[in-house]
Amino acid sequence: MTSSRLLPLAAMEKMLKQSGAERVSDKAKAALKSTIEELADQIAAKAVNLAKHAGRVTVKASDVKLAAKS
């Protein structure tokens, strides 16, 4: 996945500020965005595999939750 297409940098800044940051650098926003998108890619791939293993083509919330735990 390309890191420029899913999550806006403004959302990263908002999350960091909600966590207590007074100021947030552009590099910090980009780093958080990249990290979250990488984790999301991994979770999504695991969720798809879980659905396929269960004989389904539809990925369910339970697949995503289970994938996030592992």
pLDDT for the residue 58: 98
pTM: 0.84
Q: Does pLDDT of 8 surpass 80?
A: yes
pLDDT digits (tens, 9 = 90+) for 19-57: 999 999 999 999 999 999 999 999 999 999 999 999 999
The per-residue DSSP string of 2-63 comes to -TTSSS-HHHHHHHHHHTT-S---HHHHHHHHHHHHHHHHHHHHHHHHHHHHTT-SSPPHHH
CA distances from 52 to 11, 14, 55, 63, 69 (A): 32, 36, 5, 10, 18
pLDDT for the residue 5: 74
pLDDT for the residue 4: 59
pLDDT for the residue 29: 98
Q: Which helix (H) or strand (E) holds 60?
A: none
